Structures are given as C-alpha cells and as structure tokens.
Amino acid sequence: MANGSAADAPGESRAPRDDSAFDLIDVPATVVCAACGDPDCVGCAVEEATNQSGVVAIIPWERPGVGVWRRLWQTSVLATLHARSFFGSIPDGDLSTAFAFALVCEALAVSGLALGFALIALICLPSLPSLLLEDEQIRGGVLRGLCFGTFVLVAAMVGLHAAHGVALDFAARRFGGRSSGRGLRFGLYACGWDLITLPLGLLTMALTSGVGEARRAAPLGLTAPLQAAEAYLTGHHGLSSDSARLAARRAAFFTALSLITALLVGGLSLALALR
C-alpha cells in the first residue's frame, strides 16, 4: 500500500500512456515471437537484450528476419509518432546498427528533398532538361554538385542528431542523471524524424496510412524532439519532469550553438578557398 500511495502522490507529473507504441516491446512467445513478432511463429532462437525493467525490448530496425524497408519504416514511425514511448525506453545495443539506420533515413529524406527541388526547377525552367542533354559541361557540373551536396547534407544531418543525443547525456549529468547514457543511440534513431516529416515520408505516409495520418505526422518534426528528449531524460536518466525539461532545453541550446559554429566555420573556409 505504501508503494501505491507514493506512486499516486500529488505533484508528481507523468506523461500520458501511449499504448500504441507497444510494438517496441516483445512479450513471451505465448502471444508473439520475441524475435520476429509473428504470433504464429513457434519461436526463434535469438538472444535479445533487455531494458531496465527486464522486459525484452527490440527496436524494429534491429529485429532479425524482417525486410529492410519494413524495419526502417516501422522504426521511423515509432520514433516520430510515438516519440515519448520509443525514446523513453530505448534499449542499449550496437552503435553501428543505429548508424546504418541514420544513414539510410537521411539519404532517403535528402533524396526526397532533391526530387522536390528538381520538380520545382522543371516547372520554373521548362528548357532545363534539353539544356542538360545538350551541354556536357553544365550536365557534369549539376551532377557533381548534386552528389556532393547530398553527401554533405546527409553527413550534416546525421552529425547534428548525434550531437543532440550526446548533449542530452551531458546535460542530464548536470541535473543528477546517470553517468552512462544512450544519447548517441538516441541521436542516431532520431534521424527517423526526418524520414517521416519531410516530403518523401509524408507522401509515403499518405499513400500507406491515409492523408489524416500524414497530416498528423507533418508538425512532429518540430514537436517530437522535445517530447523525445524529455521522455529519454525521465525514462533513462531518472530525472524529474521539471529537471528533464530544463536539461532538454539546455541540450537543444548547445546543439544549436554547435550548428551555428559549424556553419560559420564552413562559410569562412569556403570564402577563403574562393579567394
């Protein structure tokens, strides 16, 4: 009774429960297989890591025996539409796997942006295709710029998300959080936000889940980061809601400062190179 009364004590704020995000959690094989999630599976002999509660927690991207696109999409949807539940219970795991997820997400997101800009260019400059076909020098310059720009933007987006995750761990320590964190995995899986909320992801969402679901996902590129950060800080670092909010804002500030510094250094380097 003492524990129940303590948990229900007034003044202790709790995030609303999001049951729809329980796709992240696998339960014993009497309900679903802990490896592949198939209720008809007789059980896969795979050793899985557990989260802090001891319950098997498998991020869809890290689940064996499932197609790449399905794993990628399910993980991105969970990270975006169910950010609190996903990042509040994010399990430990291999960083290289999370890094691969981040690269694929950002490559698709940036490719979608490039396709959108290309369509706008075709509308504004109808003669552009014939010009590219006729002039080899212009065609080569456009292709080189497109490839280089895509590479730089993908690397920058992955780096920005990773820096945000690491900043969350540092900010948490200032407020008494645990010394070890999973901030880098947080940042890498946060790249799923970009896949879902940028044009290619929204179009895919509208085609697969309906226009209403796409409309719901559109603003989450702005709101999901703070929700996910607070859930991660309370769920993993054990901070109170107020402390988690302050730590999340501090981490966002340092991330923005790092981005501005990188842009200034990059711009200065480019200006010196062109002199």
Establish how many alpha carbons lie within 13 A of residue 110's alpha carbon, considering only the half-sphere containing its beta carbon.
Answer: 20
Q: What is the pLDDT of residue 271?
A: 67
Residue 32 clears pLDDT 50, i.e. is over it: no
Place of tokens 């995750």: 165
Residue 28 clears pLDDT 90, i.e. is over it: no
pLDDT tens for residues 40-68?
A: 443 443 344 444 433 445 799 998 888 99
Structure confidence at residue 118 as a pLDDT band (50, 70, 90): confident
pLDDT (average), residues 245-265: 86
C-alpha–C-alpha distance, residues 163 and 256, integer Å: 10
Structure confidence at residue 179 as a pLDDT band (50, 70, 90): low
**Which letter does DSSP use for residue 16 in this model?**
P
C-alpha–C-alpha distance, residues 156 and 267, integer Å: 14
Quick one: tokens of 233? 């800080």
Question: Between 250 and 141, whose confidence is greater?
Answer: 250
Q: What is the pLDDT of residue 181?
A: 77
Q: What is the pLDDT of residue 167?
A: 94
Choose among 253, 245, 234: nearest CA to 14: 234
pLDDT tens for residues 81-94?
A: 999 999 998 988 88
Residue 259 clears pLDDT 90, i.e. is over it: no
Structure confidence at residue 264 as a pLDDT band (50, 70, 90): confident
Q: What is the pLDDT of residue 166?
A: 93
C-alpha–C-alpha distance, residues 80 and 221, integer Å: 8
